[in-house]
């Protein structure tokens, strides 16, 4: 039976790689996609998500608009990485992408998540939630409707890191963009007993596609294949590199093929205060942690399955096979 999944995205070149995998892989049952401000403003994120689902021929997947900004701070889009439109400023017409976008659900993202998860509770079929952007929607969901946690088999989120940052020297973009939301999600997951996998920067860059492979995808008949190739090529060009990460798509690979990931169960806190470390995920790798009563915020740590290693070759093949197969019958040309 296909694994039921919901993606929460800030689409984003690499979110698009993740959406294509989730939309096209036969072992996943993509129930819904919810959108949050992050790489781009939320309306642009919705448009980008519609483009990707249409290219995959998955117009029927509900897409909903969510939080327009982080809980406390203004939105800070990553145009320097993902382009003015958040999706690499691709030429959609030249790529022959479908002109009919996937529809937008009228519910707020949090309401769509609530409805899907409560349906999953009733069906006795819990869903894996895969947040790939700032965790604003998920924090609002778990604090507003904690009963939805029973519909969650696990949260596999892209964010944080044990060792490095990208938005700052200490913090990864998704957690840095809304640190309060990330802290709330980890706290709620502990309280509501939802297992969590953190797919962070320690592994994020290690599943890579070459320019040559991108060009093979660009030559495909199916629009999803061409879009996949263009997403990789756009990243290679932006970073003057001969290969690019599938990024967020690795978190979807972690759902499909957990054996490709090495994790350790570790205590994680989100730093909310530091002048240079706000948004850092503080991963406790000490052998002996002693007395935690002196923790400055008094919030108990959450045990998280932290991704520390990945079989990049195995997941490269997994992603290429799915987007290279490109299920949609619509060639777009
Ligand atoms: C994360 O930030 C975004 O730019 C990417 O889409 C990814 O989710 C990496 O830090
Ligand atoms: Ca993302």
Predicted confidence (pLDDT) at residue 277 exceeds the cutoff of 60: yes
Mean of all residue pLDDT scores within the chain: 93
Relative to the CA of 11, which ligand 1 atom is closest? 6
Taking the C-alpha atoms of residue 287 and residue 269, their distance in angstroms, rounded to an integer, is 17
Q: Does the C-beta of 81 come closer than 6 Å to ligand 1? A: yes
Min mean pLDDT across 27-41, 88-102, 147-161, 181-195 is at 88-102
* DSSP one-letter code for 326: -
pLDDT at 294 over 70: no
Torsional sign, CA 58, 64, 68, 73: negative
Residue 331 has pLDDT above 60, yes or no: no
Distance CA 3, CA 128 (A): 8
Q: Rounded CA gap, 239 and 281, in Å?
A: 26
pLDDT higher than 80, residue 291? no
**Is the shortest distance between the CB of 14 and ligand 1 below 6 Å?**
yes
pLDDT tops 80 at residue 93: yes
Residue 298 Cα to ligand 2 midpoint, Å, equals 30
- The structure tokens 């995959």 sit at 56
- Distance from Cα 11 to the centre of ligand 2, integer Å: 6
- 38 three-class SS: coil
> Residue 290's pLDDT band (boundaries 50, 70, 90)?
low
Which domains does the chain carry? 3-283+299-323 (3.90.245.10)
Atom of ligand 1 at shortest distance to CA of 166? Answer: 10
Give the tens place of pLDDT for each residue, 217-276: 999 999 999 999 999 999 999 999 999 999 999 999 999 999 999 999 999 999 999 899
Task: Select from 156, 124, 141, 140 the least CA-distant residue to 6.
Answer: 156
Whether 127 contacts 32, CB under 8 Å: no
Judge whether residue 151 has pLDDT over 90. yes
Residue 332 pLDDT class (50, 70, 90 cuts): very low
Q: Give the pLDDT confidence score for residue 286 in this predicted structure.
A: 83
Q: Whose CA is nearest to atom 9 of ligand 1?
A: 173
Shortest-distance ligand to the CA of residue 178? 1
Instruction: Find the mean pLDDT for residues 298-310.
Output: 89
User: Which is higher by pLDDT, 296 or 100?
Assistant: 100
Does any ligand 1 atom lie closer than 6 A to the CB of residue 165? no
CB 311 near ligand 1, within 6 Å: no
Of residues 291 and 34, the one with the higher pLDDT is 34
Is the model's pLDDT at 84 over the cut of 60? yes
CB 323 within 8 A of CB 21: yes
pLDDT in tens, 15-67: 999 999 999 999 999 999 999 999 999 999 999 999 999 999 999 999 999 99
CA distance to 17, 189, 200, 261, per residue, from 224 (Å): 10, 34, 26, 26
């Amino acid at each position: 039976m296909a694994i039921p999944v919901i993606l929460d995205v800030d689409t984003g070149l690499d979110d698009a790689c993740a959406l294509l995998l989730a939309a096209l892989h036969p072992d996943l049952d993509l129930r819904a996609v919810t959108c949050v401000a992050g790489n781009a403003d939320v309306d642009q994120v919705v448009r980008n998500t519609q483009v990707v689902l249409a290219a995959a021929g998955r117009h029927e997947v509900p897409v909903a608009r969510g939080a327009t900004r982080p809980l406390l701070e203004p939105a800070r889009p990553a145009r320097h990485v993902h382009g003015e439109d958040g999706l690499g400023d691709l030429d959609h017409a030249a790529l022959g992408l479908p002109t009919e976008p996937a529809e937008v659900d009228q519910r707020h993202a949090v309401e769509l998540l609530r409805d899907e998860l409560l349906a999953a509770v009733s069906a006795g079929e819990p869903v894996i939630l895969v947040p790939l952007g700032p965790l604003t929607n998920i924090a609002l969901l778990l604090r507003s409707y904690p009963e939805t946690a029973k519909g969650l088999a696990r949260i596999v989120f892209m964010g944080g890191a044990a060792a490095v940052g990208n938005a700052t020297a200490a913090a990864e973009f998704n957690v840095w963009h809304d640190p309060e939301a990330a802290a709330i999600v980890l706290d709620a997951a502990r309280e509501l007993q939802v297992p969590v996998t953190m797919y962070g920067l320690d592994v994020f860059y290690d599943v890579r596609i070459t320019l040559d492979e991108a060009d093979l995808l660009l030559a495909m008949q199916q629009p999803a294949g061409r879009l996949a190739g263009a997403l990789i090529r756009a990243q290679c060009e932006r970073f003057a590199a001969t290969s690019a990460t599938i990024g967020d798509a690795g978190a979807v690979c972690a759902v499909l093929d957990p054996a490709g990931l090495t994790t350790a169960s570790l205590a994680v806190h989100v730093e909310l205060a530091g002048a240079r470390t706000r948004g850092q995920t503080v991963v406790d790798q000490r052998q002996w942690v002693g007395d935690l009563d002196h923790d400055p915020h008094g919030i108990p740590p959450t045990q998280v399955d932290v991704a520390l290693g990945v079989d990049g070759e195995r997941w490269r093949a997994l992603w290429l096979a799915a987007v290279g197969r490109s299920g949609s019958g619509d060639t777009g040309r």
